Amino acid sequence: MPRQTPRLSVIVPFHNVQEFAPDTIRSLVRNAGPDREFILVDDRSTDATGEILDRAVAELPNATLVRHETNQGIARARNSGIDAARGAYLTFLDGDDWYGPGQLDDMLRAAETLDVDFVRFDHVQVNGRKRTVKRAPARVRDTAMAARDGIAPADLETMVDYPFVWAGIYRRALFDDGRMRFAPDLRTAEDRLWTWHLHLTAETFAVTGLLGTFYRRGVTTSLTQIRDDRQLDFIPAHDQMLQAVLADPEADRFLPKAVRTYCALIAFHATNADRYESAAARRLKQASAEALGRMPQDVLDRTLDEMDEERARLLRRLRPRRTARPAGKAA
């Protein structure tokens, strides 16, 4: 007899998080139910995480353990989970984060009540004992909206600036036929690219105020804390985002936001270049200059004119000098 299709699949990648995985697993147990499944992906952990997951599948109802033979990174780990999932809806959690009681019930209720392709929600950032509520930057809540309306305008924080993929629940249909996979070549910033693709691909979305997902900040094993050249993957990620926008029928509508977002990330990393390893800092400067040179230059001109003076000045210094056109040459 075939198994019943679950309402929700929860995909949780783990890699060397033995200190935090027990809390994560306990939160999944508290949120378990007959209508949901848990896809635990061990991305070739070398500490005790694998043993913790072996025990977890025995105590966690409807749990499946997927193991990678080699460490493949967060993008491929999530993709493995997507491929194994059977639920009508999918959601994600990182292996060092956790849910409050009832969070999955609330997420399913919101998804089915709002009846949209995906629902995003707020979350709580945790840094030691400190708790900070982070709100999704939506101008309208608890209302179905066109997914593309979550991208623009360029000068405001919008939903593509909220790249927390685990702060959402998504219809399975978005992932059919191999769509909406995470870019496997990216070691970081895969979530930012994925969020742009989500808003360009889906038809409808909504935002609601749930505060049952707890995101642990400042973890030393997190890629956000690593200062080698893996952090430079934000450049190919945003190159891919820019190419997707340029190929889109509404390119003119979204290019200002795409270029401004890319510029803001370059400025952020350049400002913090002293935190990189020296070789990575040198590569950052060169790669940033090349990235600015690849952008549509007319849109970049307008973006720099509209940005705050400090970041605009930094980006102009990085920007390659444009060769003056010889006299008498036609445009």
Q: What is the mean pLDDT of the chain?
A: 94
Which of 132-136, 141-145, 187-191, 321-325 bottoms out in mean pLDDT, i.e. has the lowest?
321-325
Confidence category of residue 226, pLDDT binned at 50, 70, 90: low
For residue 117, give both structure tokens: 């392709």
Q: What is the pLDDT of residue 13?
A: 98
Mean pLDDT, to the nearest integer, of 155-178? 97
Nearest-angstrom CA–CA distance, 196 and 245: 9
Q: What is the pLDDT of residue 100?
A: 98
Q: How does pLDDT run across 85-101, given as a tens digit for each residue?
A: 999 999 999 999 999 99
Mean pLDDT, to the nearest integer, of 172-197? 96
Mean pLDDT, to the nearest integer, of 72-90? 98
Q: What is the pLDDT of residue 235?
A: 97
Mean pLDDT, to the nearest integer, of 148-171? 97
Whole-number percent of the chain with pLDDT over 70: 94
Domains of the chain: 8-221 (3.90.550.10), 229-318 (no CATH)
| Order of strands across the sheet that contains 118-121 | 63-67, 36-42, 8-14, 89-92, 168-171, 118-121, 204-208, 145-146
Q: How does pLDDT run across 97-136, given as a tens digit for each residue?
A: 999 999 999 999 999 999 999 999 999 999 999 999 999 9
Whether the pLDDT of residue 260 is over 80: the answer is yes
Whether the pLDDT of residue 325 is over 90: the answer is no
Confidence category of residue 329, pLDDT binned at 50, 70, 90: very low
Which of 67-76, 105-114, 204-213, 221-230 bottoms out in mean pLDDT, i.e. has the lowest?
221-230
Give every CB contact of residue 152 below 8 A, 6+ residues apart in sequence.
Answer: 158, 253, 254, 256, 257
Whether the pLDDT of residue 205 is over 90: the answer is yes
Whether the pLDDT of residue 239 is over 80: the answer is yes
Confidence category of residue 330, pLDDT binned at 50, 70, 90: very low
Nearest-angstrom CA–CA distance, 146 and 132: 29
Nearest-angstrom CA–CA distance, 80 and 165: 16
Whether the pLDDT of residue 143 is over 80: the answer is yes
Strands 145-146 and 98-99: unpaired
Q: What is the DSSP track for 3-61?
A: PPPPSEEEEEEESS-TTTHHHHHHHHHHT--TTEEEEEEE---SSTHHHHHHHHHHHST
